[in-house]
Amino acid sequence: MPATKFICPTGQEVPIEKCLKSCVMKERCMFLPTLRAVANSLDRGLVEATVTELLAGTRETYLKKTTDYTVDPQSVLYALHGQAVHTINENHTEGDILSEIRLNDKITSGKFDLYGKILTNEDGVLGDLKVTSSYKLSKALGIYKVDVPTGEVYKTGAKKGQPKTRKEFRYDGVRHIMDWVIQLNYYRMLLETSGFVVNRMVIQALCRDNNLRTANERGIDRTIYIIPINKISNRWLTRYFSKKAALLQYALKNNKLPSVCNVRERWNNRKCLEFCDARANCPYSRRLQDEVLGITV
């Protein structure tokens, strides 16, 4: 099921159709065309689970497919930014560049963003477009800070006699891009199964908060970064997605709530508390909300 209600700025839940027809407030919280775009983005009309849906927690995907849920239009506007970036690129794919084609196999389906000569004259490059935050981008790039001695010491205060340090960026940390790697590699598999040759894979990540001070403090000083993605085992990918698809199909067939999403899928519970659209229908999330925030969802 798609989302069925919007959460108004007043906190009131309003059916989406009713909201689009007539606002319950004196004036809309945003332009009507924007609200229509938000509503349209919430339902792609796909019955079978996609690569993106299988990457999410099985419980989250199950709840979003079987229960009514509400969304705050303000919280999904970034998704529209991503769609706009995709559209801009799709409208400028002259030549031998393929874009936005959905491929499928017996397990799932996926729509790749770009394929062809997208960086140099090298053909067979698979590209994926991401619109993300400076926080996630810094993690994806392996950026971290270290304390470096300045050669001076504090002359007064509680730290008197202790060496002074300054923060410096390092760029050789662990790159937290597991989901991106899995997603893009499965698109590679779908392309290769269809007879295409994929020579390499890259992500073009656009930082949506690049102009803010916090981005600079995280070592992000550009709007767009190109991130290479390495190839991983086809056998592992097939086993991973086969298992995720089987778990979801079993849950849907038997109307049985899947196990709690794992720690990575839950973002260490941050997603359960704030970002999962179906959190109001999840017993684990409701209990977490009550324990951590002291509220009942």
pLDDT, tens digit, 9 for 90 and up, residues 78-99 = 778 888 888 888 889 888 899 9
Q: Is residue 92 part of a domain?
A: yes
Q: Which helix (H) or strand (E) holds 248?
A: helix 234-254
The whole-angstrom separation of Cα 57 and Cα 261 is 5
pLDDT of residue 95: 80
The tens digit of pLDDT for each residue in 217-255 reads: 999 999 999 999 999 999 999 999 999 999 999 999 999
Q: Indicate the pLDDT class of residue 26, thresholds 50, 70 and 90.
A: confident
Q: Indicate the pLDDT class of residue 44, thresholds 50, 70 and 90.
A: low
**186: how many CB neighbours lie within 10 A of its CB?**
26
Q: Cβ distance 100 to 86 under 8 Å?
A: yes
CA atoms within 13 A on the CB side of 252: 18
Q: Stretch 125-147: mean pLDDT, rounded?
A: 96
Rg of the chain, C-alpha, whole Å: 22
Q: Is residue 112 part of a domain?
A: yes
What's the CATH code of the domain at 167? Answer: 3.90.320
pLDDT of residue 48: 82
pLDDT of residue 113: 96
Question: Is the predicted pLDDT of residue 295 greater than 60, yes or no?
Answer: no
**184: how many CB neighbours lie within 10 A of its CB?**
26
**Alpha-carbon distances, residue 84 vs 115, 129, 130, 131 (angstroms):** 18, 11, 11, 10
**34: how many CB neighbours lie within 10 A of its CB?**
14
Furthest-apart CA pair in the chain: how many Å? 71
More confident site: 10 or 293: 10
Question: Is the predicted pLDDT of residue 114 greater than 80, yes or no?
Answer: yes
Task: Name every residue whose Cβ is closer than 8 Å to that of residue 100 and which is 6 or more positions away in sequence.
Answer: 86, 90, 111, 112, 113
Burial 151-162 (b: 16+ CB within 10 A, else e): eeeeeeeeeeee
Structural domain count, the chain: 1
Sheet holding 109-116, edge to edge: 98-104, 109-116, 125-132, 200-207, 224-229
Q: Indicate the pLDDT class of residue 77, thresholds 50, 70 and 90.
A: confident
Q: Cβ distance 134 to 205 under 8 Å?
A: no
Which region holds residue 161: left if phi is over 0, alpha if psi is between -120 and 50, else beta?
left
pLDDT of residue 55: 96
Rounded (10°) angle between helices 77-90 and 32-41: 80
Question: Is the predicted pLDDT of residue 267 greater than 70, yes or no?
Answer: yes
More confident site: 132 or 24: 132
Q: What backbone torsions phi and psi does residue 287 show, to the nearest 5 degrees?
A: -65, -40
Domain carrying residue 235: 74-245
Q: Is residue 252 part of a domain?
A: no
The beta strands (E) that lie in the chain are given as 5-7, 13-15, 70-71, 98-104, 109-116, 125-132, 144-153, 163-170, 200-207, 224-229
Q: Stretch 6-23: mean pLDDT, rounded?
A: 90
Q: Is residue 185 part of a domain?
A: yes
pLDDT of residue 84: 87
- Calculate the average pLDDT of the chain: 92
Q: Is residue 227 part of a domain?
A: yes
Q: Is residue 11 part of a domain?
A: no
pLDDT of residue 235: 97
Q: Which residue has the tokens 């698809």?
A: 245
pLDDT of residue 94: 83
Question: Is the predicted pLDDT of residue 296 greater than 70, yes or no?
Answer: no
Residue type, 197: V
pLDDT of residue 46: 63
Q: Is residue 93 part of a domain?
A: yes
Question: Is the predicted pLDDT of residue 2 greater than 70, yes or no?
Answer: yes
Q: Cβ distance 200 to 227 under 8 Å?
A: no
Q: Indicate the pLDDT class of residue 64, thresholds 50, 70 and 90.
A: very high
pLDDT of residue 60: 96
pLDDT of residue 141: 97
